[in-house]
A and B are shown apart, each in its own frame.
Chain A
Amino acid sequence: MATRAFQKVYTKLNQVTKATCSVTATGVGYDELATVGGRLAQVVKIINDSVTLQIFEGTEGIGTDAEVVFFGYPPTLKVSDQLAGRFFDAYGNPIDGGPDIEGEEVEIGGPSVNPVRRQQPSELIATGLAGIDLNNTVVTGQKIPLWADPDQPYNFVMSLIALRAKADKIILGGMGLSNDDYLFFKQAFENAGIIDKIISFVNTTENPPVERLLVPYMVLTAAEYFAVEKNEKVMVLLTDMTLYCDALSIVSNRMDQIPSKDSMPGSLYSDLAKIYEKAVQFPEGGSITILAVTTLSGGDRTHAIPDNTGYITEGQLFLMRDTNISKVIVDPIGSLSRLKQNVQGKKTRADHVDVMNAAIRLFTDAGNAKTKLENGFDLSDYDERVLKFSHDYSLRLLAIDVNISIDEMLDTCWELFQKYFSKQEIGIKETVMDKYWK
């Protein structure tokens, strides 16, 4: 984001906090960009001639005589086909040694899609993972986060899904991404031979946290270009949204806003919705699918970050370790895809919904049997059988190292049903049963 002519320059700061500063200035617009002592900043509050700026890199070492230069416009990104295959920092500057992008300069964080111009998302994304395809089918244009404790392989699972999704573009937004994980993504994309489909905006742990606030908007501005102008299927990866929220709370605390639950700003819901609602299916075929990561603390989904996220996104995919099989699975109980009914049984086999529900019910029963066992009670014959079932179900379907088609998933379920249960215990409609119960 280069500076331009006719800029206003000021040199007297009235106040400096950890993330913000204020200066006496006139003719400044809300949301406008500036530099303070050479660091990029954005206007977050104006009262008369007192302008408060949020400095993305932080304020360490900023003097009261620092030079403030106002740009006269909000943050922008130059968009064109040249973005493909490129790696950028949070400001949209290349970090891959390549040339600057030429293209139309658009404001990031632009307006919302008119709801009546949306199409109902109903194009299935096959991931090969039964925790997703069988139990929580996802579609293009959906927004859904992976929920995981920090020790789970969420970035690995995210890359798996992205690579299997057959997207036209994959746009990675890294927020507080460790350098190792950044290199992992790069490597994974290179190995898949699709580096020309990748665009990446990354703030690593080495970069200042407040910069992260720009990343999702950079990513989504690029995504809108390809989805709207080129009618492409764009897969957006945002990792880790919890670190994004942490940056939000830093800024709002520095501005003396009254925090609400878990020290998060009261506007957290609106802030996150602005990002996630950018997921869209357009009638002309272009789409933006958002796959995000929300790291949890000790699986706590009532914390303000996952809680607000869950109220916004179209479900969540819960990664956890199944100690019975010593593998990571997509938990069928804590996970949800709210758009699964748009495709299940419609674009997949007719028995899909019944099979899914029956299997999950048995899996839940197995959980109860386990509790019984832990409490030292005898298990009934049924209990024994559901425990065996849930072991096989986890191992042959839910584990993230399984990669099979949806029909194979359904056939496996039927096989396990027949192995362990009677027709009535399965409880599926007679008409469906007749066809698949051999």
Chain B
Amino acid sequence: MTKGIVRGIIANLVLVEVDGPISQNEICYIQLKDIKLMAEVIKILGKIAYTQVFESTRGLMPGNEVEFSGHMLEVKLGPGMLSKIYDGLQDDLNKMDGLFLKRGEYTDPLDENSIWNFTPLAKAGDVVTGGDWLGEVPESWIAHKIMLPFGMTENYSVVSVVPAGEYKITDTIAVVKDKEGKQHEINMIQTWPVKIPIRAYKEKPRPFKLLETGQRTIDTLNPIVEGGTGFIPGPFGCGKTVLQHGISKYGDADMIIFAACGERANEVVEIFVEFPKLDDPRTGRKLMERTIIICNTSNMPVAAREASVYTAMTIAEYYRTMGLKVLLLADSTSRWAQALREMSNRMEELPGPDAFPMDLPAIISNFYARAGYVYLNNGSTGSITFIGTVSPAGGNLKEPVVEATRKAARCFWSLEQRRANSKRYPAVDPIDSYSKYLEYDEVKEYLNSTIAPNWTDLVSYAKDVLLRGRETNEQINILGDDGVPLSYHVTFMKSELLDRIILQQNFFDKVDAATPLNRQHYMLEKVINICMMDFQFESFEEVKPFFTSLIYDMVQMNYAEFNSEEFKQVEADLEKILAERRVK
């Protein structure tokens, strides 16, 4: 193995003079007294390796010895990852002693001694390649597939598979033979470098199936699909994290991977305190049982923050190859971009816009491209749906991370300061936001055949109502309440009704927090019907109170269990109010 000597230290950038070959992104360990600090090569200039250290470099000196590992930053994959809380380098945080994180302490992501109930899926004589399923073990409520390691991309023939029974992850569960006849023993563990996508699938078609999030402003107005990508930009305090937490709770996925990347530790605490108590409405199991948290909060080392999103993506790819529907959330991708910026500045690279590295757009788009819906070699399907938040400096949407992400992600849910200020949560701007998937014919077809034949028409009608509402409101503000025709007030209040009943959703209310699709359909139809009605008013002053009472009733409907006694009672009352002014 190549060795090196520390020559320079600038914060977490360490220059190492090497005595042999090394490669880009190779991992090395810097000896500091009795601990080893992990670092990654990010640039090579002659005999000097520029490394980013995943720890504080306090006390490091020129002359300290460095050992190169011969491999890139890897994750260790196998059963037992669900409900774990990892740091950005996949250390199991629960395995660390003490209140404080210790430098140079790395822990096993898997539990070597855990016992798993193995059922074979392959048999002697089968021809397999990397990613093919050899067997499965129940992990929580997921059938965790034991796969031929992804790196074994040739064809192998199965020599033997152990019979069903209990095994440790380190036990050999299969033996396979390569073309030369060499035998390979396979256990339940494999490793994979995080910066390389796992491509153990046959093909990646355009995604088309709606992925329900329970959030009306997303599902109804700008939906995301299984295997799709989306991002949530917004100034601080506008609700990015709350919206993502909502999606992680109610999103219709087999499992959730949540990458808390450079944000607040208390937000992670919230997840691991609440999720073990919350039920997953689909399986009745606890939410934590389908969740993996990758937690590299803002005070943890910056370089590991960058690693954390890749760690999360690689774990997602591993589970996708088992034929699962994975939802990956990262909060916030801006912190990852900032970590890149910090390093690029320390290396005195020529800066791009706002001092971000020049290749930022390429890095972001390569990352988003790892999501997707896939057909596996055995014909099953799997998907990674990826939603990232973006935290633009000063809330400015023209900033480099937003611009770069816009090119990579297909859904754009923009959070608006003004909406947040007036507590119209979720503060997703209904007019500027979009879902490119609504342009896909196969998505439209899917929506109209699964929700209602006229669904996409209803949705585009709703968007028109909102747009007309915004325009008339501007007119009212310019010309004054009595300077515009009465109909302007009606148009505006119709859009307010739609806004309040469909778009606004109270994340902290038990019922309102998530709305199933059939209920979204019912309410949208109801609201659109009202928007299509004509009403009789004597003066503009009657308009607002009338709609206020409609809104009042329909909010009660949102808070009531769907089709409950209470729901129907309010609905009946609503019909009465409507009848009072409705023009037939």
Contacts and interface: CB of A to CB of B under 8 A. Distances in A.
Interface of A: 26-32, 44-49, 74, 107, 110-121, 141, 228, 257-261, 266-267, 269-270, 273-274, 277-278, 280, 282, 302-304, 307-308, 310-312, 314-316, 333-334, 336, 338-339, 341, 353, 357, 360-361, 364, 372, 375, 377-378, 380-382, 424-425, 427, 429-430
Contacts of A117: 98-99
Interface size class of B (residues with CB under 8 A): 35 or more
A312 B264 contact: yes
A30 B338 contact: no
B341 interface: yes
A119 B508 CA distance: 21
| Interface core residue of A116, A120, A353 (most chain B CB under 10 Å) | A116
B283 interface: no
Listed from nearest, the 6 A-B pairs whose CB atoms lie closest are A273-B298, A277-B299, A302-B394, A310-B236, A377-B480, A47-B8
B493 interface: no
Given A113-B100, A302-B395, A333-B421, A118 B548 contact: no
Given A311-B236, A425-B548, A112 B100 contact: yes
13 contacts: A31-B58, A44-B10, A112-B300, A116-B272, A121-B266, A267-B345, A274-B299, A277-B264, A303-B394, A314-B266, A315-B237, A380-B544, A424-B548
A105 to B, nearest CB: 15
Interface in B80-110: 85, 93-94, 96, 98-103
A260 B62 contact: no
Interface of B: 7-11, 15, 56-63, 85, 93-94, 96, 98-103, 235-237, 262, 264-266, 268-270, 272-273, 295, 297-300, 302, 335, 338, 341-342, 345, 351, 354-355, 391, 393-396, 421-423, 477, 480-483, 508, 541, 544-545, 548-549, 551-552, 555-556, 559
A380 B351 contact: no
Nearest to A274: B299
Contact of A336 (B237, B300, B549, B559): B237
Given A111-B101, A114-B96, A364-B422, A307 B61 contact: no
A124 to B, nearest CB: 16
A26 B62 contact: yes
Given A27-B61, A273-B299, A361-B422, A111 B552 contact: no
A29 B93 contact: no
Contacts of A48: 7-8, 62
| Interface core residue of A31, A117, A372 (most chain B CB under 10 Å) | A117
Nearest to A31: B58
Contacts of B266: 118, 120-121, 141, 314, 339
A29 B59 contact: yes
A333 B61 CA distance: 50
A230 B499 CA distance: 51
Nearest to B339: A270
A74 B269 contact: no
Given A49-B62, A228-B99, A120 B338 contact: no
Nearest to B549: A424
Contacts of A381: 541
Contact of B93 (A116, A269, A339): A116
Given A116-B85, A266-B355, 7 more contacts: A30-B58, A46-B8, A111-B100, A114-B98, A273-B262, A424-B548, A427-B552
Contacts of B8: 45-48
A377 B100 CA distance: 60
A307 B354 contact: no
